[in-house]
Structure 1
Amino acid sequence: MQIGILGPFEVRIGDGVLADVPGARLRALLVALALQAGHPVGKATLIDWIWGQNPPADATNSLHRLVSRLRKALPDGAIEGQTDGYRLAVGPDAVDAVRFERLARDPRRAGEALTLWRGPALQDVGPLDSEAFDAAVTRLENLRLSALEDRFAAETGAVAELTALVAAHPVRERLVAALIRALAAAGNDSEALLVYQRTREVLADTLGVDPSPELSAVHVALLRGELSRRATPRATNLRAELTSYLGKESDVAAVRALLTGHRLTTLIGPGGSGKTRLANETARTLLDAVPDGVWLVELAAVTAGGDVAQTTLAALGQRDSLLGVAPDAEPVDRVIAAIRDRAALLILDNCEHLIESAAAFAHRVLGECRRLRILATSREPLGITGEALWTVEPLALPGEDDDPAGSPAVQLLRDRAGAVRPDLGTDVRTMARVCRALDGMPLAIELAAARLRTMTLDQLANRLDDRFRLLTGGSRTALPRHRTLRAVIDWSWGLLDDAERTVLRRLSVFAGGAGLDAAERVCGGPDVLELLTALTEKSLVVTAGDGTPRYRMLGTIKEYAAQRLDEAGEAESVRRAHLAYFTELTETAEPGLRRAEQLRWLVVLRAEHDNIAAAMRGAFAAGDADGAIRLAASAGWYWWLAGHKAEGNELVVTAAALPGGTPGVHRALVYTLIAQFLFAGQSDQYSATEWIHQAYEMARDHLDAHPALRLLAALDRLLREPAEPVTVWEPLLSDEDPWVRGLGRLQLGKMRIMLGDGRPEADALLVAALDEVRRVGERWTIAFALVELAGRIAMRGEFGPACEYYEEAIATVAELGALEDIVGMRARQAQLYRLLGDERSSAAAMAEAQRCAERVAWPNALAELALARAELAITGDDRAQAHEHLAVATAMMGAEAEQPMVRALIETLRGWAADDLDEAREHRVAAYRSAAEAAHPLLVATVLVGIADQALREQQYERAAELIAAGIALRGLPDRSQPAEARIAETARRHLGTRITEVAPGRWRELAELTLAC
């Protein structure tokens, strides 16, 4: 059953059949129950809803009769009798108003929430003489206005709609601010200023107040010109074109019109007809009309069977996107999470070789992303219901009696040839002959124009007559997949000498282009620079880069060259050369990544990111286990540092799983990386331990081969000999490598704190570790030390300095680009600002955490954020919000939520958010059991605070005091960042009349079990 009250009243049952619920009072009864869907509603509340201040003398019986009538109108069992009321047995999402409220709590989903409104709320229910009814209408309408404000805060445009809203609600300052921004973005700064002036006057006249600081800030930005169209950045990855666009202006207008009316538009046509350029030019005209950006997804380089969704993530700048899904989610789920509520345009370019997967991807994301539009280019339709098609025809050719100069094809040839041959002349008749021979195909014309650098127009025309006979040999759409393009490129290939052909086909192994050094090593020979220059002049290779040039090929030429590489029998040897080069590069860079020069090396490796991944995947495809392991061992730290944890985790795990290969230092390093990723992702800690053990066994006789192996040895000893948790790190303090020394000191301090060392000496270890790693200059470890220090001093109650440490740590990892590490830091900062009473800074920190989490894919990013939000909601006594955030966190973590440490934390938070004591007890029993299994002292201490709260609420004051004391004993000091601890202790003291005595740390199990009776 679905109930709609946000507009015309309607109740749909079964397969959408409308149920008849006649009469204002009968509808009012249903609405009162629906607004509390799934929860009991008291009889007094219902009577007040229906009759207000004038109930009938037998109100209870009247209500009973109304309920009887309503039951007849609804499916059996829809209304359940309760002790003192009734309950509508439907889920919350069955009622549009309830679903709207849930969605509207998240400003990012305001647009989705507003789609539920079909007109004024409860318009077919009243009028009723009921203050409760009127209050509900007012409340819903205010929530709608707030959602509109959230929506317009994230969008620019809709001037007409905003103008009407501001006229109806002149003192809603967020709407006024949105209108000012929209007017400024449209170039109407003067009107925007008038809106501000009118609003200021209205506020003064009606409320006697000045504009809020937020509205005043918008006014200042308007005066500074910061809100104008030219100042608004446009989200896109479209590259600026280097050449003019000729002959297709009407096509751009037609395709734009199709995009306006359809959510999927596909440009179809033969290869070389200009589908990609037309898509880009059309999209460029829509940049200001698409709030969340235009994104080009280049599929030409993706091999058959490749993942369209993963390529889309990369195009969106979220190669490592998790964005609100479980850790093992498919890439398509990550794409949906990234753009679910966004008004964006995706260009899926060159779908033909991935037609089935591209069609499935488009169908899935369009079904789940309501505001998304897709513009695809392909040689055949995607074949999806609702798909609009536009055939991209070749450029118009001149007829025999037409003036050739007016032909778009000739105009294109003149423009491109004139750039390389200023003395070309005006022989438009011969130009028309060339264009006819090439069937007006833009790519073929551009390749032909490039040859005019070294030959005359007549020579070119004469050769084309023979060379491209296939282009006019039949229907182009009936030819094999690439034949038209191959004919053009075959001709260009035929003009190359053997050395140029060798370089061109070998260059095809690169992904994302190649620097000169890489090209010389992989393509071979001392003359590679001269050959690349020649190929660039012939438009077969493109140079890019502001400083050091990089050489790349267009997708179709790259595909052609790769086929030639296979034909030459060189594919495997070139792959090995490519793998060897990038293995050597990463091995050279890897030591520098642990030093101050890591930023310089990160720039180098980021430029080769695609090549490193391609080398890895090439090794996978060839079954080259040792090659893959060696590259993974040297590239793993780069993936960790540079914000590619999800991709790095996938690659190192795949490398380790390849059959064959030999054990040794490289494999030990890869196993260590796998454990590092597992520990960081809160995955199966037992599996991480096993990887550590295997790695140590392989490397135990070669610990000097790499600094990480000495850390591995200490960690393995810790796992094997848990009775000596502190001494395992002490040998590292005298290691010859300062990075190892710093990490050893940091781990030693962290271990002492974890074991309950509350003395300042433990803090001093962290300070000393920070000094050590600062001298090394390795930023991630510096941030690690800062975070540990921040947590420690926050425990001591120094919240302001702790926030400063977090700020420094955030700035440090931001230099690396590791946004996933910023999420937790900002979230913790938000909690500390709340403790300081600085709500504004707390909200800003949490908003920044959200923005970072949406841009990364590391599995715990959004889950960690949701847990932090739940904790903040508990602090603010908003239990409903806490439950919602906890549900989000557990859904994102999937099976990982059942890990003992994670489950203990989640169940503790659920205990704080519980609505009654019995429910709280259940959660605290679960938290205790998980904490006992994990046996992590600081976690146990946190769980004990929750159990102490249970004891306090059950008036077990002495037990509450003892539990708090046991937690303090485990930590070695009180935790002032948990205000509940001090509150519980103080309340217990007031009732006991004495101070809490010390409790031995080992008594915590006894005390917890006595309290919970479990």
Structure 2
Amino acid sequence: MQGAGFGGLLRRHRREAGLSQEALAERAGLSVDAIAALERGRRRAPRAHTLRLLADALRLGDPDRSRLTAAARKEADTTRTPMRQPPAPTNELIGRTTELTATSRLLGQRITRLLTLTGPGGVGKTRLTLALANEVADSFQDGVCWVQLAALTDPAGVVPAVAAAVGLHPLESTRLVEEIAEQIGRSAMLLVFDNCSHVVATVGQISAALLEYCPNLSILASSRELLRLPGESVYVVPALSLPHDEDQLETSEAVRLFVERATARGYDTTGQLDQVARVVRRLEGMPLAIELAAARTNVMTIEELASELETSFGILAGGSRTASPRQQSMYGAIEWSYALLTPAERDVFAQLSVFVGGWTLNAAATVMSGQAHPGPLERAEALDLTGRLADKSLIRVTRRRGVTRYYMLAVIREFAADRLMAVGRTDEAAERHAQFYISLAEEAEGHLRGPAQEEWLDRLENELDNLRAAMAWALRTSSPAAALRLSAGLWLFCSMHGHYAEGSRWLERALALGDSLPADLMAELSPACAKANLGAGTLAFLQCEYDAATDRLQTALRQYKELNDAAGTALVLQRLGGVARERGDYGAAEDLHCESYDLYESLGDRAGMAWAHNHLGFVAWLRGDLDIGARRCRRARDAFRIVGDGEGLAWSLISLGAIAQYSGELVEAEDLLQESLALSQRLGYREGVAWSLNQLGIIERRRGYTERAVHLLDESLAEHRDLGDRWRSASVLEELAAVAQQRERSEYAAFLLGAADGVREVIRAPVPVIEKADCETTRAAVEAALERRAFRAAWSAGRAVPLAAVADGYPPPGGAAADSPTLT
């Protein structure tokens, strides 16, 4: 028997024991087919466990047992099928340096034995998995085995696929997982499961078994859903890096991928990187989407492609014919994930598409349940279903300042919205969404004048896209109550975060809707109408539309008085005082602010009284009464610190800084203004930022540091211009003229003075008294430095140029100062 092969030895031992194949199979706990296959050589390499079962069943002594084992090992060594290797990549991997470094460390240094690369369809999991497998191959003595699961349609095919990949000839057996484990044994190898999502439960089961039985095995899996095994490390594959500014266009991974793929199709992207950036930003850096978009350059320009993508992702199709259907279009990639969802998950997935720019758990629970104030059970259900969608990579999770937010990639959201429309629930979900954000706006309003101001401003800014969607719904469905409540609840936020024009449009359209209602219905909305008129008047004032502002504020004043609302009346008087102040009527402004103060005092409203003090101080220093202004603003500052009003504190610091600056106390002024700048930036209070930069620029100009002055004043002008504040823009232009004159740029200084004068003529607002002396000094110096004709030409050119053009550094038309359009 010494020369017999394993099959022959087994057959002889069975016959000597007087056993049939059926009897041996029964005694050994194996299948008859397995015994027959081993004897006939169809299966030549039984594992150690199988050998033990056979030797025990045959009652072999040690010598015969050893010969049988030796024969098995000899055949295993000479006939074992090699493991399936990772496929060769078909193109260069773009970027992913950070991702490869992080994941290689986890696997190569054996920090984890199970690593799952997860993310939505099209993010590049398989490509990164392939690159990672090749990167760490040398770290595994016995190699890398690749198990491709994408083509499987039945979970029952997973175990045979693994068996084939590791070199087994799969047979019908109840012990196939154990046989795979025996095949791997103590081998130091990496087993890679690619595309597990549709069979994730089965992959999880076999992974758990193999990790337990094979101590030197590591597993790498790519899946849209986690395996959820103990010890599993998860790496969420991010999208490719996007360009944040022009300097990053050539280094952005997303741009590089598009350029490489478009170039391969014969498209020359030279000089079009800005348009490429438009495309990849819209696609949020998703590799599959970028490749599909680049493929369209065979029939479209990049600019046409970018414009098309602004309205729909439908053109993202036409991938490689050899790719799986889900890789041939973004729709197919998402459809594949959607097909794996339960009915409840599909329903929620569709409903969540109503959110724009992300959402919180409370918002999701409201839309899902239809309840304005969902209870613990509704919140728990929302959390569970949201978590399931996140685990399946259809939702992404972010955490910032202790708040968790969820969002969908734009292309996924479009797919989900189509599903919602298909079941006819778009309007229902949009209404629930709008009601939640109306309630949020009204709740936030009460926190925007106190210690929680920063938190609530940040929260509303995060929800701005959803607030816009809610407003669009209210206007689209002609819902006056919803439109008025939402716009009126947001006007203070819009004023603080610089959304002047947008907030004005909302308020004016909401008020127009309200005007169409019968008188009895309008009576119910009187408080909201008064607040909306107050907001519309305030935002018009901030954009220097003084006549429109006065009309709205006078309407609000009448409405608040009819409602016997003293607090509302006091706030309107305060805003009317602001209009009078900017128009140079300081006496009327002071009277209005005093009247406002008296009302706040009668109510015991310390914050309101502080604001009245601040505005009275503002009026005082603008007209040159610096001592009175300082006393008023110090009282306001101290009160604002106590009540925790960040906006008020920023304003009092700006006023005190300006007073110190005009008093010649430049060090004190700088300290105050730097504090106001930091506070305003933290709050996102753009007007405070612009004013602080303006006054800091004046300080640097007084010190003779003209380069720093230009930098600060240019920033201030850009902020004021973007906000629509022409009153302050004119003052900044006059300061820039003073700097230009100090640099002996007299012609350009004349141009800037003319531009400022043109702005003041349009808004009918004079130069503040406190600024007149500097302005007149600058003009006198410029006129002395230029011939009369040159001065008039430059001045007239400045008056003719739009404010936006001046802020962009346009040279004045007609040749005046054309060789020096900027101060630097």
Give the TM-score taking structure 2 as reference length.
0.53
Structure 1 residue aligned with 2:308: 352
State the Cα distance separating 1:512 from its structure 2 match: 0.8
Structure 2 residue aligned with 1:395: 320
Deviations 1:758-797 (A, max 9, x none): 6x44531221111111212212211211222233333333
Q: Is the 8 A contact 2:283 2:411 kept in 1?
A: no
2-side partners of 1:580 and 1:351: how far apart?
33
- Among residues 742, 746, 766, which one is paired with 1:901 in the alignment? 766
2-side partners of 1:246 and 1:791: how far apart?
49
1-side partners of 2:748 and 2:255: how far apart?
53
- Among residues 550, 570, 575, which one is paired with 1:710 in the alignment? 570
Q: Is the 8 A contact 1:742 1:772 kept in 2?
A: yes
Residues 1:618 and 2:473 are matched in the alignment: yes
In the alignment of these two chains, the number of paired residues is 513
Structure 1 residue aligned with 2:332: 444
2-side partners of 1:248 and 1:667: how far apart?
51
Identify unmatched segments of 5+ residues in structure 1: 1-232, 285-344, 356-376, 381-390, 398-408, 410-434, 451-488, 927-1014
Show the 5 A alignment for 1:823-862. Answer: 823-839=690-706, 841-843=708-710, 845-846=712-713, 848-849=715-716
Tell me, what secondary structure is at the counterpart of 2:552? helix
What amino acid sits opposite 2:644 in the alignment? G
Give the TM-score taking structure 1 as reference length.
0.44
State the Cα distance separating 1:692 from its structure 2 match: 0.9
- Among residues 803, 809, 813, which one is paired with 2:680 in the alignment? 813
Residues 1:742 and 2:698 are matched in the alignment: no
Residues 1:687 and 2:548 are matched in the alignment: yes
State the Cα distance separating 1:510 from its structure 2 match: 1.1
Structure 2 residue aligned with 1:528: 382
- Among residues 876, 884, 887, which one is paired with 2:751 in the alignment? 884
State the Cα distance separating 1:602 from its structure 2 match: 2.1
Q: Is the 8 A contact 1:766 1:789 kept in 2?
A: yes
Structure 1 residue aligned with 2:151: none
Q: CA RMSD in A?
A: 4.9
Distance 1:572 1:751, change over 3 A: same
- Among residues 407, 412, 427, which one is paired with 1:572 in the alignment? 427
Structure 1 residue aligned with 2:359: 514
Tell me, what secondary structure is at the counterpart of 2:447? helix
Q: Is the 8 A contact 2:691 2:716 kept in 1?
A: yes
Q: Is the 8 A contact 1:830 1:841 kept in 2?
A: yes
Deviations 1:48-96 (A, max 9, x none): xxxxxxxxxxxxxxxxxxxxxxxxxxxxxxxxxxxxxxxxxxxxxxxxx
Structure 1 residue aligned with 2:533: 671
Structure 2 residue aligned with 1:359: none
Q: Is the 8 A contact 1:252 1:282 kept in 2?
A: no
State the Cα distance separating 1:566 from its structure 2 match: 4.2
Distance 1:811 1:719, change over 3 A: closer
State the Cα distance separating 1:825 from its structure 2 match: 2.6
Residues 1:696 and 2:557 are matched in the alignment: yes
2-side partners of 1:648 and 1:749: how far apart?
28
1-side partners of 2:727 and 2:574: how far apart?
26
Q: Is the 8 A contact 1:803 1:833 kept in 2?
A: no
2-side partners of 1:605 and 1:439: how far apart?
38
Tell me, what secondary structure is at the counterpart of 1:551? strand
Structure 2 residue aligned with 1:603: 458
Tell me, what secondary structure is at the counterpart of 2:406? strand
What amino acid sits opposite 2:382 in the alignment? V
Show the 5 A alignment for 1:185-264. Answer: 235=245, 251=261, 254=264, 258-260=268-270, 262=272
Distance 1:347 1:802, change over 3 A: farther
What amino acid sits opposite 2:308 in the alignment? E
Structure 2 residue aligned with 1:631: 486
What amino acid sits opposite 1:500 in the alignment? E
Residues 1:871 and 2:738 are matched in the alignment: yes
Residues 1:789 and 2:656 are matched in the alignment: yes
Tell me, what secondary structure is at the counterpart of 1:259? coil
Tell me, what secondary structure is at the counterpart of 1:700? helix
Structure 2 residue aligned with 1:309: none
Structure 1 residue aligned with 2:643: 776
State the Cα distance separating 1:348 from its structure 2 match: 8.6
State the Cα distance separating 1:600 from its structure 2 match: 1.6
1-side partners of 2:419 and 2:700: how far apart?
62
State the Cα distance separating 1:577 from its structure 2 match: 1.9
2-side partners of 1:872 and 1:787: how far apart?
21
Q: Is the 8 A contact 1:739 1:773 kept in 2?
A: yes
State the Cα distance separating 1:838 from its structure 2 match: 4.5
What amino acid sits opposite 1:829 in the alignment? L
1-side partners of 2:622 and 2:420: how far apart?
58
2-side partners of 1:542 and 1:868: how far apart?
48
Tell me, what secondary structure is at the counterpart of 1:514? coil
Distance 1:753 1:590, change over 3 A: same
Tell me, what secondary structure is at the counterpart of 2:268? helix
Deviations 1:297-351 (A, max 9, x none): xxxxxxxxxxxxxxxxxxxxxxxxxxxxxxxxxxxxxxxxxxxxxxxx9999764
Tell me, what secondary structure is at the counterpart of 1:901? coil
Q: Is the 8 A contact 1:645 1:858 kept in 2?
A: no
2-side partners of 1:604 and 1:771: how far apart?
27
Q: Is the 8 A contact 2:720 2:726 kept in 1?
A: no
Show the 5 A alignment for 1:142-541. Answer: 235=245, 251=261, 254=264, 258-260=268-270, 262=272, 277=287, 351-352=307-308, 393-397=318-322, 409=323, 435=324, 440-441=328-329, 444-445=332-333, 447-448=335-336, 450=337, 496-497=342-343, 499-524=344-369, 526=378, 527-541=381-395
State the Cα distance separating 1:238 from its structure 2 match: 10
1-side partners of 2:510 and 2:656: how far apart?
36
Deviations 1:664-701 (A, max 9, x none): 22222222222222222222x22211111000111114
Tell me, what secondary structure is at the counterpart of 1:508? helix
Show the 5 A alignment for 1:853-1002. Answer: 865-874=732-741, 878-886=745-753, 893=759, 897-901=762-766, 913-914=782-783
- Among residues 445, 459, 463, which one is paired with 1:590 in the alignment? 445
Q: Is the 8 A contact 1:729 1:748 kept in 2?
A: no
State the Cα distance separating 1:523 from its structure 2 match: 1.8
Distance 1:507 1:600, change over 3 A: same
Structure 1 residue aligned with 2:157: none
Show the 5 A alignment for 1:102-113. Answer: none
Q: Is the 8 A contact 1:726 1:752 kept in 2?
A: no
1-side partners of 2:420 and 2:555: how far apart?
40
Q: Is the 8 A contact 1:696 1:716 kept in 2?
A: no
Tell me, what secondary structure is at the counterpart of 1:808? helix
State the Cα distance separating 1:856 from its structure 2 match: 6.5
2-side partners of 1:804 and 1:346: how far apart?
50
What amino acid sits opposite 2:549 in the alignment? A
State the Cα distance separating 1:757 from its structure 2 match: 4.9
Identity of aligned residues (%): 23
Tell me, what secondary structure is at the counterpart of 1:258? coil
Identify unmatched segments of 5+ residues in structure 2: 1-242, 295-300, 371-377, 581-586, 797-824
Distance 1:735 1:745, change over 3 A: farther
2-side partners of 1:868 and 1:717: how far apart?
26
- Among residues 409, 413, 418, which one is paired with 1:558 in the alignment? 413
Distance 1:889 1:569, change over 3 A: farther
Q: Is the 8 A contact 2:727 2:763 kept in 1?
A: no
What amino acid sits opposite 1:792 in the alignment? I
State the Cα distance separating 1:501 from its structure 2 match: 3.9
